[in-house]
Homo-oligomer: A and B are copies of this chain.
Amino acid sequence: MPFGTRPLTPLIHKIERFVRLSDVERRLLQEISEAGRRVSPRTALIEEGDEPPGAFLVLEGLAYRYKQRASGRRQITALLIPGDLGNLDAPLQSRMDHSVGTFSACVVVWLTPETIRTLQQHPNIAHGLRMSTLVDEATLHEWLLNVGSRSSLERLAHLFCELYLRYQTVGWARGQSFELLLTQSDLADLTGMSCVHVNRSLKELRRRRLIELTSRRLRILDWAGLKALAEFDAHYLHLGEDREGLASDDLPLPLPLHNGSGKVDKQLDCARGGLMLVQVKHS
């Protein structure tokens, strides 16, 4: 496939947050990630009511799950960043009860039921996938809390905290910033507010010097402040034991992934310095 010197698939990074993989398993995941297909931005991948076309894996870009109301108003129920999976239990369902679409250009792998079965036969992968599902569910709980009980400012702050950490984990953060592939209208559909109000809330977040947001790049100016405003507790993301030790109000620095070797891998420099991912060796 056409993506130059191939970076380690984000799926491996993700799963190795939870479990140690064997070489065979790692190779399997890597192979699966070869079949990525480009998808245009703002495209529907799956529509509500469809028969589930199988599971999928996002390798690049930003996708999302959403539900649409008769009025046209939509609620976004999940953001899918590189390494995230969708519809793992597609074979169990006869109809999709929500839609999936892309925000940006994406690279997506479709997984057949057989592929999924194969994956499930590897105990560590199976375990990792279940953990990943758990995190998705925990995130849903957190979002419900967010939308149901936080003010508009808090909601945005919380979303940004979550997104920043998630991007950082897969190496798509650059220093204290990341590319926000969402319009204000998208943010509105994520947080259950109107887009005019999103605009004003962003203005307020900027005024308080918590964030900077210009030309699609969100820079976190005051991590402690943003976190405090959002009452953000990263535990639900299960970012790994390493990370737990972080003092709760420091700006989180990219930390070694759990690669078992004890040495910091290149991933880090990448997240910190802004270089692209390079193949990383685990032993």
A→B interface (CB under 8 Å): 65, 67, 69-70, 73-75, 77, 89, 92-93, 95, 97-98, 127, 130-131, 134, 137-138, 140-145, 147-150, 191-192, 231, 235-236
Contacts and interface: CB of A to CB of B under 8 A. Distances in A.
A149 B192 contact: yes
A13 B131 CA distance: 29
A16 B140 CA distance: 27
A149 B69 contact: yes
B145 A143 contact: no
Contact of A144 (B92, B130, B144, B235): B144
B145 A144 contact: no
A97 B141 contact: yes
Contacts of A127: 92
Contacts of A77: 141, 144-145
Contact of A95 (B75, B192, B235): B235
A142 B127 CA distance: 27
Nearest to A141: B77
Contacts of A138: 97
Nearest to A191: B148
Interface of A is mostly: helix
Nearest to A95: B235
A7 to B, nearest CB: 28
B145 A69 contact: yes
A67 B142 CA distance: 8
Contact of A236 (B97, B140, B141, B144): B97
A130 to B, nearest CB: 6
A192 B148 contact: yes
28 contacts: A65-B141, A67-B142, A67-B145, A69-B149, A69-B231, A70-B231, A73-B149, A74-B149, A75-B144, A75-B149, A77-B141, A77-B144, A89-B130, A92-B130, A92-B134, A93-B134, A97-B138, A97-B141, A97-B236, A98-B141, A137-B137, A140-B140, A140-B144, A144-B144, A144-B147, A147-B192, A148-B192, A149-B192
Given A145-B77, A148-B75, A149-B75, A137 B140 contact: yes
Contacts of A149: 69, 73-75, 192
Nearest to A66: B145
Contacts of A137: 137, 140
Contacts of A145: 67, 69, 75, 77
Nearest to A89: B134
Given A97-B235, A147-B147, A149-B192, 6 more contacts: A67-B141, A74-B149, A75-B145, A89-B130, A97-B141, A98-B141
A235 B98 CA distance: 11
